Structure 1
């Protein structure tokens, strides 16, 4: 993939929403992640290999909590939580706790 796109499962893992890449891939393949690109209609991601790009919006529920984020960066690695939080912005404007590593 190019530098402006990343596999959806890799991005969710790098952003620390899942502890393993295989968990994020399984979650996507179950159709539990919705993507909005360029303000167009929301679509369900059906394959872990689908690309996400900067500006995409993702909505999914983990651990009984709805998460809505906008992709801000791809990231080069799975870094510490502070680094992972720079990969997205929270669309729910909530300042409560970390969404990371719920699974």
Structure 2
């Protein structure tokens, strides 16, 4: 699948080719922001992933642990992109569990809506609001 003859590819390019990010710039920003870890460590966009490397990729609420299966610098269709990596079983289970929790509302903060007039006064008094 690799178009280069030396078998080297940048990490940001591989993430883009594997369709984790829509653009290379987004992939680079995610790597620089610490959202991608290679072998348990933060890395740079110029890092060259090797077959068998384990990557931890955080995107939104999702956190995926994938193992690099092939290298490519060309972005192709989704079925070919999915052949570049294999997601670990525990990663899939973690993501599904987190999705169920989000769906059930277990991670969100529940409130009774807007505070009443009395509750607003108490909040203002607690915060020390001297505007009155």
Mapped pair 1:79 → 2:55: no
1:84 is displaced (CA, Å) by 0.2
Q: Which has the higher strand share?
A: 1
Q: Which runs of at least 4 in structure 1 moved beyond 4 Å after TM superposition?
A: none
So what's the TM-score if we normalise by structure 2? 0.62
Q: Work out the number of aligned pairs and report it.
A: 90
Distance 1:66 1:16 in 2: 15
1:78 is displaced (CA, Å) by 0.3
Is the CA contact (8 Å cut-off) linking 2:69 and 2:85 kept in structure 1? yes
Computing the radius of gyration over CA atoms, which structure comes out larger, 1 or 2? Answer: 2
Residue in 2 that maps onto 1:7: 10
Q: What is the CA deviation profile of residues 11-44 of structure 1, one whole-angstrom value per residue up to 9, with x for unaligned ones?
A: 00000000000100011011221111xxxxx211
Residue in 1 that maps onto 2:50: 53
Identify unmatched segments of 5+ residues in structure 2. 96-132
Residue in 2 that maps onto 1:30: 33
Cα distance 1:30–1:76, how it changes in 2: closer, same or farther (>3 A)?
closer
Q: Which has the higher helix share?
A: 2
1:92 is displaced (CA, Å) by 3.0
What is the DSSP-based 3-state SS (H/G/I as helix, E as strand, rest coil) of the residue aligned with 2:31?
Answer: helix
Distance 1:71 1:87 in 2: 6
Mapped pair 1:44 → 2:42: yes
What is the DSSP-based 3-state SS (H/G/I as helix, E as strand, rest coil) of the residue aligned with 1:66?
Answer: strand
